[in-house]
Amino acid sequence: MNRFSNELNKLVNRSLDRHVRLAVTGLSRAGKTAFITSLVNQLMHVSTNPRLPLFTAVRDDQLLGAKRVPQIDMHVPKFAYEEGMGALLSAPPSWPEPTRDVSQTRLALRYKPQRGPMKLLQETATLYLDIVDYPGEWLLDLPLLELDFMAWSRQQAQILKGKRAELASDWLAMAESFDPLAPADETLIEQVSARFTEYLYKCKAEGGLHWVQPGRFVLPGELAGAPVLQFFPMVWLEKITEQQWADANEETNLGMLKSRYRYYQQHVVKAFYKEHFSKFDRQIILVDCLQPLNAGPESFNDMRQALDQLMQSFRYGRSSMLKRLFSPRIDKVLFAATKADHVTPEQHPNLVSLLQQLVNEAWQTASFEGIKMDCVSLSSIQATEPGFVDYHGRQVPALRGHQIDGDAKTLFPGEVPRRLPNDTFWQQSGFDFINFRPLEMQSDEPLPHIRMDKAMEYLLGDKLR
Ligand code: GDP
């Protein structure tokens, strides 16, 4: 009898245990690795964590504990939590190495259900939380599904202006003599593609530009070196007539580019949406608004454009492309302005307001049926301490921290604009955001943060009731 009731209990537990898949994304260096490391760390310290007052499950003692458990998707690399904590706890502390591919980690959260059948049947229940990290650049590829190779090439030709044209000069010079109608030459295509890829990398590293397509070229993950990442847009439109575009078969250079592009659409872009995106329940999108403010108007506007593109993936209108592919199930999206500890606390409301403005236009013009959205500012791992300094007899807000090379620094980094910056702002702006080293920390204490608890409440609060 006892055995029977134990078995029954197990069965009930299993059927009532719940599961949530939380996706974390953002353009590279937005702070994904730091965020996930901190999220796992805060949850692992949950029973003794005094730093989560806004997370009601912890405040009200409903969340009893969390542990890491083996993930079920065995083909997805594991998120490097231990390595990240190792870097943060070393002397001197350093930032975790960012991941460049999709990665995942699974936690089991033990909690006291407060309502519904769970409360009647069980004193405690388990919520399995899968945290999936993937580069935001991959979402920039969604529009490619609706463009054929010619349309995409035309679009790329149009944006080759200003800084982009300069950065593309090596690629364009090399491809000068590229004959699209000559017999397919795999080696030549590989060489020209390598220059094109270099140009995309330069856009990010030297140009501070975020809108790069195809996104997988700069964050190839396991596809590095594969032929599917060896093609480039035919931006020399005058070299080919419409008829030649249409006729080019696999035996020509143009035909090979066309077929690789199609393969990329089907096996890279579509596959990501089907295998990963369609299974997410909740999404946090991390945005570093401060770096583009530092870098200038071109970089800022480019980030805005990249965010607009990225948000297309959350447009599930009835006729949307994603709805046609599968039924997306994300019901809540949180936008988070990261690295809030880079500015003094009275600037945090401005940071949120700026982020709202950045995402609002795209949000308003699209139909985001059934998705809730919110914006916060946060610091996943706080690296500075706020305070005041005396300036000509006045107390002004300041930050104290250590630069990456270890030198102590106290500064007022500047004001964050409340609204999208205009020309006057760019002429007058005096930003000075520098990279800080993480603070020294103890392994038995949770990582210092700003408003991680607010993000946790939004993303997980209702799942733990
Ligand atoms: P990812 O490429 O999106 O995974 O970005 P990372 O998480 O690796 O973050 C990139 C860099 O941003 C880190 O190396 C840190 O220098 C900085 N960073 C990330 N989060 C924070 C934060 O909360 N505070 C501060 N001060 N810096 C941060």
Residues 205, 59 share a domain? no
Residues 351, 267 share a domain? no
Q: Percent of the chain having pLDDT more than 90?
A: 60
Q: Is 12 a residue whose pLDDT tops 60?
A: no
114, part of any domain: yes
Residues 111, 23 share a domain? yes
Residues 113, 214 share a domain? no
390, part of any domain: no
Among 274, 297, 322, residue at a domain's last position: 274
Ligand 1 atom nearest the C-alpha of 436 is 26
Residues 233, 189 share a domain? yes
pLDDT score for 32: 97
Ligand 1 atom nearest the C-alpha of 97 is 8
Atom 19 (ligand 1): residue with closest C-alpha? 31
pLDDT score for 398: 92
396, part of any domain: no
* Ligand 1 pocket member 68 (CB < 6 A): no
Residues 109, 164 share a domain? no
Distance separating alpha carbons of residues 156 and 212, to the nearest angstrom: 10
Residues 117, 248 contacting (CB under 8 angstroms): no
Residues 236, 167 share a domain? yes
pLDDT score for 4: 58
Residues 268, 192 share a domain? yes
Among 274, 307, 328, residue at a domain's last position: 274
* Torsion over CA: 72, 68, 97, 303 (sign): positive
Query: Per-residue confidence at 321, pLDDT binned at 50, 70, 90?
Result: confident
Q: What CA–CA distances, in Å, run from 462 to 17, 59, 311, 456?
A: 15, 14, 24, 10
Residues 228, 333 share a domain? no
Q: Is 390 a residue whose pLDDT tops 90?
A: no
421, part of any domain: no
Domain that holds residue 376: 2-134+279-384+439-464
For the stretch 198-210, pLDDT in tens is 999 999 888 888 8
* Torsion over CA: 437, 443, 448, 453 (sign): positive
Residue of 24, 85, 95 to test ligand 1 pocket, by largest number of atoms within 8 Å of CB: 95
219, part of any domain: yes
CA of 357 relative to ligand 1 center, distance in Å: 23
* Ligand 1 pocket member 93 (CB < 6 A): no
Q: Is 296 a residue whose pLDDT tops 70?
A: yes
Among 233, 256, 274, residue at a domain's last position: 274
Among residues 11, 14, 282, 10, the alpha carbon closest in space to that of 126 is found at: 14
415, part of any domain: no
Query: Per-residue confidence at 141, pLDDT binned at 50, 70, 90?
Result: very high
pLDDT score for 169: 96
pLDDT score for 310: 87
Q: Is 450 a residue whose pLDDT tops 90?
A: yes
DSSP labels for 246-306?
HH--TTBHHHHHHHHHHHIIIIIIIHHHHHTGGG-SEEEEEE--HHHHHH-HHHHHHHHHH
